[in-house]
Each structure stands twice: as C-alpha cells, then as structure tokens.
Amino acid sequence: MRFSKPSFLPFAKSSRKANIITVFRHARRNPRDFVSRLWCPRTIAKSLVFLSGLVVIGTAIAEILLYIRTGKNSRIGTTVINPFIPLARPSVQVHQGIYRGGTAKTGHVFVERFLGIPYAQTTGGYNRFMPPVKMMAGMTKHDARYWGHKCWGGPDGPDQRSGDDCLNINIWRTRGVKENQNVPVVVYFHSGSFNFGSGAERDIASFVAWSVDPIIGISVNYRVGALGFLSSNLTAEEGILNLGLKDQAAALEWVQENIRMFGGNKDRVTIWGSSAGAHSVGHHLMKIDVPAHFQGAIMESGAPTARAVYPYNHPLHEEQYKRFLELTGTADIPDESKMTHLRSIDIETIVAASESVFQQYSASLRWPFQPVIDGPGGMIPCAPLESWKARAYHKVPILTGFNTNEGSMFVDTAVDDPKEFDEFFQTLIPNFTEKDMRELNELYPDPSKSPESKYTEDRPGVGKQYKRLARAYGDYAYIAPVRHTAHFASALDRPDDAAVWMYQFDVNQTVIRGSNHGDQGEYVVYSPNVRKLPWSRHGAIGEQMHGYWTSFVISGDVNEVKKGRVKNRSTWAQYGKRGSSAKMVFGEHNNQRAGGKDEGALTENRPDLWGDAEGDFWWMRTIMSERI
C-alpha cells in the first residue's frame, strides 16, 4: 500500500507551536497519513522520550505523596530512584563534629546510616585499662559512611577491623527523619561471651527499615576480653573493673546528649541485647544509683543472673588474672607498676594473652573476663539475684525470652560417658554437694541407665550424653535466668511493676543444634536471609517477631502498634498478670530448615510450664554462681 506525501505540519520541523491536541485532530481526519508519519524513526524516538518523561514525572509525584504519607517508597518507585538514593549524604552536627552519612538498602527500603561515630576517646596509650573518656567538642567534618574499628578480641570482619579507637556507635534511621522529630530509639549491645563481637553483629538496618513507624537503631562497640573485664584485687584498687559495662554506659550518655540531632527522642530509648548483650542490659537495669537513660529493655537469651556473676576477688578470677599476667610477662613486676607496664606493651601481646586464657577455660565454660560484682557505686553493686529480691532495679517494660535448645552450641557433641556429665557440673559449680548431684541426675535421667529417659540420643555421630548435657546447661545458663527476670519483674503484680512479655523461640535450624542460642536474631530483624527462605512460614514468623519488637520499641508495649503487614497479629499476654506465667511461642515444632516437613505453629500464647521442674532446680542454686 502506498501513501501520498502528507502535509502534516504538526510533525514538521518548521512548526514549533504544534501541540498534542492538533496532532490528535489531524489523526482523526487522516488516520493513514498519521500512521505513516508514526513510522518515522525520529518521530518514534521523540514519542518514546515524551512518554518516558510522563512516566517518570507521574511516578515521582506518586512516590512523593506516598513517602509523605508512609515514610516509604513502593517497589516500582524505588526501582526508578535507586540510582540516585545512594548519592544522598545526610549530615548531622553533634558535640564533637559534623558527620556526613550515607544510605543503605534492605529489600526495597532505604535507611540513612552514620557509621563509626565515636562516643569516647581512644582506648590506646594511657587510656588503656582506664574508664572511657568523653569526646572533646569540635567542628571537624567526618565521613560516616564506613564502619569504624571494633574493639580488640576475635577475628576481624570483612568491613570492620580492630583498633584502639573502637568506642564508637553506628546509627540507622528511617529515611526522611529530621532533627528534633523525636522518633523512638533502640540501642543494641552485641553478644560474644564478653570476649568477642562487634556492633556489626546484627542487621539493625533491616530492623529499622521494615518498621511501620519511623525509628532510630543504634549498635555499640565496647571493650571485651581482658581489655574490658580484667578482674582482680589490683584492678579493683585501681577502679578499673567492668570497663566494658562503663563503655556501654558512656554510649547511653552520648545518646542522651546527641540523639536529638538525628531526630531521636532521648526520653523514648530502649536498650536491647542478645546473650552477653542481654546480660549487659540486665546489669544496667539494676544500676539504680544513677538515673536510667532508657525507658524499656529487651533481653534475648540472657539476664543479669545468667551463667556466673562472681565477686571481683573470686578465686577463679584471680587464677585467670595470674595466667594473663604470665602470658604478658607482667607476673614478676611489682603491683604498683603492673598496670603501667600493661599500658606500655604492644597491643598484640595483650590480645594474644587474653584469647589464650579464654581458650584455656573455654571447654569447661568457665569463661574469663566477665562482668563482676564490684560493690556499692560499681556497675554491679551486689549479687543480681539479691537485687531482684530487693526490687532494686529500674521499673521499665521488659521483653525477654529464650530458645528451646540454648545449650546445644556450647557443649561437646561427642560427650558419651555419664561421668563426663557429672564432672562437667562439678567443675562448673564447685559448690555442688552430693545431694545436688543426686537431684541433678534424677532431674536429667541418664539415658544409658534409663531407657525411657527423654534424653535418649538416636542421632548418628552424636554422643549418648549430648542431648542431656545440652539441655541441663541451657537451663542453668540461660533459661532459668530468663525466668528469673520475668518472675521478679512482674509476678508480684505490684502497682509499680512494669509490663513483662516472655517468649520461647522453637524453630529448629539444624538436626544437631535444634533451636540454638542466637537463632532468633535474624527473625527479629526480619533479615533478607529469612525473607528469602523457600518456606513462607519463616517469613511469616519473622514478620510477627519484628512487628512485636518494633511495637515495643515505639511504644513500650508489644501489642500497641498494630498496622501494616502484621496488623492482625495475636495479642501477646503479659507475664505475671494476675498470677499468670504466659509466654508467646514462635514457630513451635518447625523443622523445615533442618530438613523436615513440619511448618509448625506460627505463634501461640500459653502458660510457661515447659521445663518447670528443671527451672525450679536451678533457681534454688543460682546464688552458688554469685558468691565465693
């Protein structure tokens, strides 16, 4: 088919005033001519550019309106603006200078981040084995897009190396939060047995990004190992016990003074930790001689009564201290010069000695360099159990809980002889009497003597005593202490009691370890690892936990904030209300990640009766781990 040469002025180069209405009128009069002109490459190019512009402008307007309303962008909108978001450099001026941060992406959600901001001066030189020193005022500009140093102890990460200038924090905030906006703040203390770890441990960016309301998340680096917890009569005289806890307290003070500049509310701060971090939260909870710089506490798999909290002059601490001095070549130096010498030798010698002592005591789980009872005015003024009984703690809302198989990662999977079970606890708790050991064996029956024992082991390659030892140690070190917290903070149901919520996490991750110590962490933050799993149940569990946790951070109540993806989640019953012992169980019997097919229950409220007798046994003996 041939077309006559049209005189289509709206498309002609000489016509600069042509408009869309004229084009469409011509199309109606001469459709063939209009179509023929559309096949012109130049016309096609111009049309595509014009239509693309309309799409971009329309998307931008829609995204601006969506962001104003919700604080987030859609997947389509984020795809369009993705290339430009990382170029944004939020800037904040605080006490010691000006920090220019960056932008991080999790899923299709962006958050602003400020990494490696110092809250105290270097720990090197004279400041080694000394309390944290406050930062000086300044106006210097700093690049806060990259991780700062972590404190000495354990291997370096791909993005974070160890160094003396390690007392720093990392801040993530919902994109768009401005100065003085007063959004809730959560401060996270990492785990690591008080000997390892860093503020990069948990995906705080994901936790912040998926919150239905704007929040600010902070992680803290603090001194660990001998540099943070060197305990002895000498260090007590020097006033340098529990330096790692003092670092954490200094970080909380920095937050009080500066978080307003990031848009945070200093009067709506929640402190949060897992394992050693949870123990830390518990100790801050009980330091009542200073005002609380927090209004809520989250303790995952940890408590102030967890494991052993001995006085600073306990024989075990003195034994480990002497071994440390030997390894650093300080044993023969007079006491008045020991600390001066330790501040002068190279840091590698200090770290190597610290890690060597830890390894020496690791198998028996009598870890060195732990928080200690340092007396009135100290970070831990008395035995934590006595503080609970005396109600000497800050009355703030508490979220706490444990995993089903807390002890499985800590004990040897090959343990096979019943004598090893007995020797383990006799070494761990030397004050155990013959009566204690007899009751312990009755409570955790030996499967080699009692075929009906629930600790009978049928997994290949695992010792016959492993399940039994793992359960007993988990009850002693983590589960019973968590129940201490829930009971003493709420069970009396007094008018000044704050609300307490307790959970049990039961998602089996592996055949051997089960629902292991720390496994809940990636679910709580709704991490990409959980969101990408092939089983939808895990994403749902993560959504539920993240929803409860962020609601607690926002309001101090796990049930208060119900909107977004999990607005219809179940109401989590308080522990101790009207004499109840309620808890929320997450993912009960789920074994998909361990190769099974059972997706289990999503969530379920129920009385905390699991392992009740075992808990009672350890409750009566906790004080054995808090006295000489």
Residues 121-136: what's their mean pLDDT?
97
Tally: H helices and E strands in the chain:
21, 14
Q: Which one-letter DSSP state was computed for residue 186?
A: E
Catalytic-labelled residue, pool 193, 232, 275, 387: 275
Q: Is the pLDDT of residue 157 over 90?
A: no
Predicted local confidence at residue 92, as pLDDT: 96
Predicted local confidence at residue 72, as pLDDT: 52
What are the tens digits of pLDDT across the range 89-126? 899 999 999 999 999 888 778 899 999 999 999 999 99
406 annotated active-site: yes
Residues 440-446: what's their mean pLDDT?
96
Q: How far apart are CA 624 and CA 436, in angstroms?
A: 11
Q: How many CB atoms lie within 10 A of CB 6?
A: 15
Decide which of 274, 303, 330 is a domain's last residue. Answer: 274
Q: How far apart are CA 129 and CA 343, in angstroms?
A: 7
What are the tens digits of pLDDT across the range 517-563? 999 999 999 999 999 999 999 999 999 999 999 999 999 999 999 98
Range of the domain at 531: 384-625
Residues 376-396: what's their mean pLDDT?
94
CATH of the domain at 99: 3.40.50.1820
Decide which of 274, 306, 323 is a domain's last residue. Answer: 274
Predicted local confidence at residue 575, as pLDDT: 92
Predicted local confidence at residue 12, as pLDDT: 47
Predicted local confidence at residue 89, as pLDDT: 87
With respect to residue 159, please indicate whether it lies within any of the assigned structural domains: yes
Q: Which one-letter DSSP state was computed for residue 345?
A: S
Residues 413, 554, single domain; the answer is yes
Contact 374, 476 (CB under 8 A): no
Supply the DSSP string of 43-89, one letter for each residue. HHHHHHHHHHHHHHHHHHHHHHHHHHHHS---HHHHHHHTTTGGG--
What is the arrangement of strands in the sheet containing 97-100, beginning at the earlier edge strand?
91-94, 97-100, 141-143
Q: How far apart are CA 20 and CA 14, in angstroms?
A: 16
Average pLDDT of every residue of the chain: 89
Q: How far apart are CA 399 and CA 574, in angstroms?
A: 10
The bridge status of strand 582-586 relative to strand 216-220 is unpaired
Residues 110, 245, single domain; the answer is yes
Question: pLDDT > 90: what percent of the chain?
Answer: 75
Query: In 286-315, which positions are buried (b, 16+ CB within 10 angstroms) versus exposed (e)?
Result: bbeeeebbbbbbbbbbbbbbbbbbbbbebe
Residues 605, 477, single domain; the answer is yes
Catalytic-labelled residue, pool 112, 201, 406, 588: 406
Flag the least confident range among 63-72, 84-93, 238-247, 390-399: 63-72
Confidence class for position 74, pLDDT limits 50, 70, 90: low
Confidence class for position 162, pLDDT limits 50, 70, 90: very high
Q: Taking CA 239 as the corner, what is the angle to CA 238 and CA 245, rounded to the nearest 5 degrees?
A: 135
Diameter over CA atoms, the chain? 110
With respect to residue 537, please indicate whether it lies within any of the assigned structural domains: yes
Predicted local confidence at residue 63, as pLDDT: 65
Decide which of 224, 252, 274 is a domain's last residue. Answer: 274
Residues 392, 255, single domain; the answer is no
Q: Which one-letter DSSP state was computed for residue 518?
A: T
Residues 485-511: what's their mean pLDDT?
87
For the chain, give the number of residues. 628
With respect to residue 214, please indicate whether it lies within any of the assigned structural domains: yes
Which helix (H) or strand (E) is 422 found in, with range? helix 418-428
What are the tens digits of pLDDT across the range 228-283? 999 999 999 999 999 999 999 999 999 999 999 999 999 999 999 999 999 999 99
560 annotated active-site: no
Q: Is the pLDDT of residue 43 over 70?
A: no
Q: Is the pLDDT of residue 68 over 70?
A: no
Compute the Cα dihedral for 292, 310, 420, 454 and give only its sign. Answer: negative
Structurally, the chain folds into a number of domains equal to 2
Q: Taking the model in full, what pTM does it have?
A: 0.87
With respect to residue 224, please indicate whether it lies within any of the assigned structural domains: yes
